[in-house]
Amino acid sequence: MVELIPIKSIKDIPFDENLFPGTPACAGCGGLLALRHCLKVLGKDIVIVNAAGCFTLLSIYPFTPFKNSWLYTAMACAPAGAQGIRDALDILIKKGKLDPKEDLKVVVLTGDGAAYDIGLASTSGAINRNLDFYYICYDNEAYGNTGFQWSGATPLASKTGTTQPGRLSPSGAEFFKKDLFEIWRSHKPPYLATISPSHPVDLHNKFKKAEQYKGPKLFINLSPCPPGWATEPSHSTILAKLAVDTGIWALKEAIYGDIKHTHIQKKFKSIEEYLKEQGRFTHLFKPQRQESVINKIQERVNKYWHSVQEYTK
């Protein structure tokens, strides 16, 4: 294995773009910003296998914003599509029907609805079969493309189209966010990480590190989503950073299941700073402050970090 020299500053990020502007994604889409960085590291010799979600609309006949190849599958089965392409490339190369120079990296790109819910089984299958692929989940914590409804990735108390605070149920989504990182980690994939568009250097280094491994290389990106989160498009990066600074989005990686946090803060900001910024949580503060719900969220974050060795030692 070649020794990796991590980059230190944003200036070291390649200048070349593999994702061009002018897409139909919303202004300030945190997922798109992260994807742009991912593609800078992955290069153009890739094929993206996409599941139904916001980014399905990036490639609309006859246009595509990518330098690379693309296959849209359906909502539940992008990892299965990746399996078909990877296996086909391998067998064609083995049989001498395809020049090895033509080989591509296979990259699954889905939102949280596909990753956390409908596509969980096909992802589990692909990881279990040790498929050599990348998975980028742009997690905006709801079904964004259909107008922001509750998904398994929606955090406690978030307002969505199907968890609207009302008289009987004033606090929005009633469940905690599913822990996809842990579900994926239970498969012990060679590489697994969380990323954020606010930390492109961390993102870059993680992809570089992942490149050394054969097998599943999985990434979950917390993706601020201005229309769904009811935030200013220009605030997306600030929000992504706030998520890290408050500790609600832990930046970490797991190599064959062993976790390491890649960003530790001595003191985290209060979760309120993050919640208050977003329209989807305003009902927690107005017309009445829902102290118990806010505490519940804060306690969950505290509990998480107390279980993290690097933090407590």
User: To which H or E segment does residue 302 belong?
Assistant: helix 291-306
Contact in structure between 106 and 47 (CB atoms under 8 Å) = yes
Q: Which of the choices other proteins, ligand SF4, none does residue 227 contact, using the CB cut-off of 5 to 8 A by kind?
A: ligand SF4
Amino acid 109 reads L
Query: Would you count residue 117 as binding other proteins (CB under 8 A)?
Result: no
Q: Given the rule CB under 6 A, which residues bind ligand SF4?
A: 25-26, 29, 31, 54, 140, 144-145, 223, 225-228
Binding span for other proteins by CB under 8 A among 117-125, 213-221, 248-256, 301-309: 117-125
- CA-based angle 234:136:188, to the nearest 5? 135
What's the first-to-final CA gap in the chain, in angstroms?
31
Q: Any contact of residue 17 with other proteins (CB under 8 A)?
A: no
**Residue 243 C-beta: closest distance to ligand SF4, Å:** 15
Q: Which does 228 bind (CB under 5 to 8 A by kind): ligand SF4, other proteins, none?
A: ligand SF4
**Cis status of the peptide bond prior to 62, with omega within 30 of 0:** yes
The answer to whether 67 contacts other proteins (rule: CB under 8 A) is yes
Q: Cβ distance 150 to 162 under 8 Å?
A: yes
Residue 270 has which token pair?
């209060």
The item of ligand SF4, other proteins, none sharing an interface with residue 101, based on CB under 5 to 8 Å by kind, is other proteins
User: Judged by CB under 8 A, which stretch of 51-59, 168-176, 192-200, 275-283 contacts other proteins?
Assistant: 51-59
Query: Does 129 help bind other proteins (rule: CB under 8 A)?
Result: yes
- Which of residues 75 and 92 has its CB atom nearest to ligand SF4 in the complex? 75
Question: 275 and 266 in contact (C-beta within 8 Å)?
Answer: no
| From the list ligand SF4, other proteins, none, partner contacted by residue 29 (C-beta under 5 to 8 A by kind) | ligand SF4
Residue 271's CB is within 10 A of a number of other CB atoms, namely: 22
State which residue, 79 or 165, has the beta carbon closest to other proteins: 79
- Between 21 and 287, CB nearer to other proteins: 21
CB 237 within 8 A of CB 223: no
Q: Which does 284 bind (CB under 5 to 8 A by kind): other proteins, ligand SF4, none?
A: none
Residues 3, 70: Cα–Cα separation, whole Å: 31
Sole residue written with tokens 């969950």: 300
Can you tell me which of 35, 53, 54, 122 binds other proteins, judged by CB under 8 A?
Answer: 122
CA dist 25 and 2 (Å) reads 37
CA–CA distance, 217 with 206 (Å, rounded to integer): 10
Q: Which is nearer to other proteins, 7 or 74 (CB)?
A: 74
Distance in Å, CB of 293 to ligand SF4, minimum: 24
Sign for the pseudo-dihedral over CA of 50, 52, 58, 63? positive
Interaction between residue 110 and other proteins (CB under 8 A): no
Q: Are 277 and 239 in contact (CB under 8 A)?
A: yes
- Are 242 and 157 a contacting pair, CB within 8 Å? no
Q: Which of 92, 156, 255, 259 lies at the binding interface for other proteins (CB under 8 A)?
A: 92
**Residue 42 in tokens:** 């992955």
Q: Is 275 in the site for other proteins (CB under 8 A)?
A: no
Site residues (CB under 8 A) for other proteins? 44-45, 47, 49, 56-57, 59-61, 64, 66-74, 76-77, 79-85, 87-92, 95, 97-98, 101-104, 121-122, 124-125, 129
